[in-house]
Structure 1
Amino acid sequence: MKLIGKTAWITGASSGIGQATARLLAAEGADLVISARREERLQQLAQELRALGRQVCIAPADVANRQAMQQVGELIAAQGGVDILINNAGTMPISPIINGRVDEWEQMIDTNIKGVLYAINAVYPGMAERKQGHIVNISSIAARQTYPSAGVYAGTKHAVRAISETLRKEAIRYGVRVTDVQPGAVATELPDSIVHDKIRAAVKENMYAAEMPNLQAEDIANGILYAVTQPAHVDVSELLIRPMMQE
């Protein structure tokens, strides 16, 4: 059990990569703070993890809500802080830019960029003061490439990659490590956030094509575990994890 004595805060913990990561880190001994908008799912997950003997704090919050994230940060600080932040929450309502779905653009910017920054701001100063910590930001393969209909989403993920690398360089002096995890096609609920019917159907068809078996959430969780359990002098700054057949 590699994480005994450590506490991790995971956003977007109610499903997918966040949920799988919570289970894996708990199995390795970590106590947890879990956040998401769907409190009932957090309650179910907490019950499961507490059965392993872990301490679990439920902190329901929308990462796009600055005040809510500040409140989670205050709760965490009152409990002594966290050792690991898994910045996982994200959304992907992609569509062609010509469609002008401005509300959906703002949703992606608020969740995928501002939400990442709000979570960092909530715990990074405490990590810096204690001279230890690890921030893991979940971006995407879209942080490296883009494709039609995904321009705004890819833009948010390019931003997460840039923020992660800049923070890594700044955080060295404080003993805080930073990892940017870039998943490829993963079988999660993320495509369900696509409102454009034709795009959603096309994405799901491509993701679940027989010739390209996609990743499971547990595959990404294993990569995260690898990054956060390296010796203190090792910083895994980027992890690109995609299905073998994905270009």
Structure 2
Amino acid sequence: MSDKSKVIWLTGASSGIGKTIAELFVKKNHKVVCCSRNIDKLKKLKSELESDSRLIKIYKLDVANPNEVFDTYQEIKKEADIDCLINNAGITSFNAAKDDSVEEIRKIIETNLLGSIYTIKAVLPDFIKKKHGTIINILSVVTKKIFENSSVYSASKQGLLAYTNVLREEVREHNIRVINIIPGATKTPIWSNDILEKYSQRMMTPNDISKIVFDVFSLNTNIVAEEIVLRPIKGDL
């Protein structure tokens, strides 16, 4: 990735939906900057792609740390022109609100909400300058329906939905697309083994989600899919 080529910047790329997004975009011959806190998993991802590994650049990044976010983006800019940011990094707990510790609350909000805002703030000046860019946020069906034992996670995703909906209106004049993907239950490591064993057959797969992400990214007309809600055909868990 030595030329100043247009690339996708993807957070939370080491597993689940993020990993399959990276794999699909590379398969479609797009260059992807993959970020995660787990550099070993990123190295494994790159090695698994073998001949296509030239299309991947990896960085260890905790999006909850704003200094890391902005420093990493400056490093990326030395080699590539970011065309699309995909905010996928996220964590959760499955506790009742009364049981969430202050530390758990802080980590979830800083990763899911503030982390995505930091990455958006990093790319936005360049997107505005060149009058082009795409921001895709992987949110959650918790923005559409109340689920118990997910209060902080819901707050983080609802906050990002509100932030990006306002952002979209502010950047329309700069030809910047802001797209929110809102998936329901998906078979990823975010779920406990017990839940996966019980419900995995009716869950969506990360591959299902990544295909939708690629399709909305690839729209090359005067159309933008601003919000897409995805649910298992049998409904929410």
After TM superposition, the structure 1 = structure 2 runs for residues 42-61 of structure 1, keeping only pairs within 5 Å, are 42-49=42-49, 51-52=51-52, 54-61=54-61
AA aligned opposite 2:116 = V
1:171 to partner: Cα distance: 1.6
CA distance in 1, matches of 2:148, 2:197: 16
Alignment correspondent of 1:224: 213
Alignment correspondent of 1:76: 76
* SS across alignment from 1:52: helix
AA aligned opposite 1:190 = I
CA distance in 2, matches of 1:103, 1:111: 12
Alignment correspondent of 1:140: 140
1:49 to partner: Cα distance: 3.6
* SS across alignment from 1:190: coil
Conserved 8 A contact 2:8-2:82: yes
After TM superposition, the structure 1 = structure 2 runs for residues 77-92 of structure 1, keeping only pairs within 5 Å, are 77-92=77-92
Alignment correspondent of 1:195: none
AA aligned opposite 2:152 = V
AA aligned opposite 2:119 = A
CA distance in 2, matches of 1:19, 1:229: 19
Q: What's the TM-score once normalised by structure 2's chain length?
A: 0.92
* SS across alignment from 1:32: strand
Q: Deviations over 1:110-157 (max 9, x none)?
A: 110011011111112111111111000111001111222111111111
CA distance in 2, matches of 1:15, 1:53: 17
Alignment correspondent of 2:12: 12
Alignment correspondent of 1:236: 225
* SS across alignment from 1:47: helix
1:20 to partner: Cα distance: 0.1
* SS across alignment from 2:136: strand
Conserved 8 A contact 2:26-2:55: no
AA aligned opposite 1:88 = N
Q: C-alpha root-mean-square deviation of aligned residues, in Å?
A: 1.8
Uncovered stretches (5+) of structure 1, i.e. residues with no partner: 193-199
Alignment correspondent of 1:153: 153
Alignment correspondent of 1:162: 162
1:214 aligns with 2:200: no
Q: Deviations over 1:153-201 (max 9, x none)?
A: 1111111111221111112111110100111101111125xxxxxxx85
Conserved 8 A contact 1:6-1:29: no
Q: What's the TM-score once normalised by structure 1's chain length?
A: 0.88
Conserved 8 A contact 1:140-1:181: yes
CA distance in 2, matches of 1:85, 1:243: 26
1:81 to partner: Cα distance: 2.5
* SS across alignment from 1:20: helix
Uncovered stretches (5+) of structure 2, i.e. residues with no partner: none
Task: Point out the more displaced range, 165-174 or 72-81.
Answer: 72-81
Equivalent pairs, count: 232
CA distance in 1, matches of 2:161, 2:64: 18
* SS across alignment from 1:180: strand
Alignment correspondent of 1:246: 235
AA aligned opposite 1:216 = T
Percent of aligned positions that are identical: 29
Conserved 8 A contact 2:63-2:111: yes
1:225 to partner: Cα distance: 0.6
CA distance in 1, matches of 2:159, 2:198: 25
Alignment correspondent of 1:185: 185
AA aligned opposite 1:22 = A
